[in-house]
Amino acid sequence: MNRFSLFVAALAFALPTAVTAQGIPVEPIATPPQTGAIALGTGGVPGMPAESWFTLAGRPTVRNVATATLLPVLPEKARATGAAVIIAPGGGFLMESMEAEAMKPARWLADHGIAAFVLKYRIDATPASLDAFKQAALARFAAAAMAGAKGGAVIPAPAPALADAQAAVKLVRARAGEWGVDPRRVAYLGFSAGAIMGVDLVKTAAPGTTPDLFAAIYPSMAPTTVAVGAPPLFVAVANDDELFGKQGYGLPDSWRRAGRPVELHVYEHGGHGFGFDGKAGTTSTGWSTALLTWFGAHGWLTK
């Protein structure tokens, strides 16, 4: 794989994008309002540059997150089912796709009566300069692409990010009454790096932090240890995933071997990072419909 191909694979891992030979546009933007976001109180990151927002192929993205927050996106009370989903976007633990893999699915879930909670978790520091950041991302994702091509795991969840996910589950359950949520119906939806973090969340099984359902969208497919009582698992991945397509199906098979419920959707085309909408012109555009059906089968769509 040449340097340009590695760069393309890197950015594809970070976010769903339209990749062209001219490269992927990256532009700085002002920090958007995050009204209602709740600080999780999990601490900071020493030496982290100021939080920085930019667009990657037009999609709002954040990096250098030092303070974890949880943003509730609640349904209209008349439509609320009492179920909740915590959403963790992807980005290789260097950035987070806050629109395509967070706010967009959050609004969609709320439209279906499910309370959504967008998790902005702590990630690794990157240089303050946007140009220097691009180089750091290149190095990180080049290594990830090489590991994925060999069928290995890619990037483990950093300890601060995992602690943020655990804190998010605890907070939603602790304030369930305030948000009209059933504390026994709290799911976790993770994209790419967010899904990798979800696997660690379930595997760790710290008291009060295991979600009741777990949906992993283009996660690492490497086998894992499955804790006793692990939640039902939903996996959506493309067969031609540039990072995880050669790993086989170890993740869902680990659930199956442990005797835990699992549903697997493999789309012929879509690549890595097909996002909430799926990749146009492929069957991956139907993954969110399949997820909603799965949520319904587990009682997330009824009061």
Three-state secondary structure string covering the chain: CCHHHHHHHHHHHHCCCCCCCCCCCEEEECCCCCCCCEECCCCCCCCCCCCEEEEECCEEEEECCCCCEEEEECCCCCCCCCCEEEEECCCCCCEEECHHHHHHHHHHHHHCCCEEEEEECCCCCCCCCHHHHHHHHHHHHHHHHHHHHCCCCCCCCCHHHHHHHHHHHHHHHHCHHHHCCCCCCEEEEEECHHHHHHHHHHHHCCCCCCCCEEEEECCCCCCCCCCCCCCCEEEEEECCCCCCCCCCCHHHHHHHHCCCCEEEEEECCCCCCCCCCCCCCCHHHHHHHHHHHHHHHCCCCCC
**Confidence band for 148, pLDDT divided at 50, 70 and 90:** low
Q: What is the CATH number of the domain that holds 286?
A: 3.40.50.1820
Which residue segment(s) compose the domain that 151 sits in? 3-297
Residue 243, in any domain of the structure: yes
Q: Is residue 75 part of a domain?
A: yes
Question: Would residue 168 count as lying in a domain?
Answer: yes
Classify residue 41: in a domain, yes or no.
yes
Highest mean pLDDT among 23-27, 125-129, 143-147, 215-219: 215-219
Least confident of 22-36, 109-123, 237-251: 22-36
Percentage of the residues of the chain whose pLDDT score is greater than 70:
88
Whether 135 maps to a domain, the answer reads: yes
Q: Has residue 302 been placed in a domain?
A: no
Mean pLDDT of 95-114: 97
Q: Is residue 303 part of a domain?
A: no
Domain count, the chain: 1
23-27, 117-121, 205-209: least confident range: 23-27
Mean per-residue pLDDT, 156-172: 96
In a domain, residue 103? The reply is yes
Per-residue pLDDT tens digits for 30-85: 999 999 999 999 999 999 999 999 998 788 999 999 999 999 999 999 999 999 99
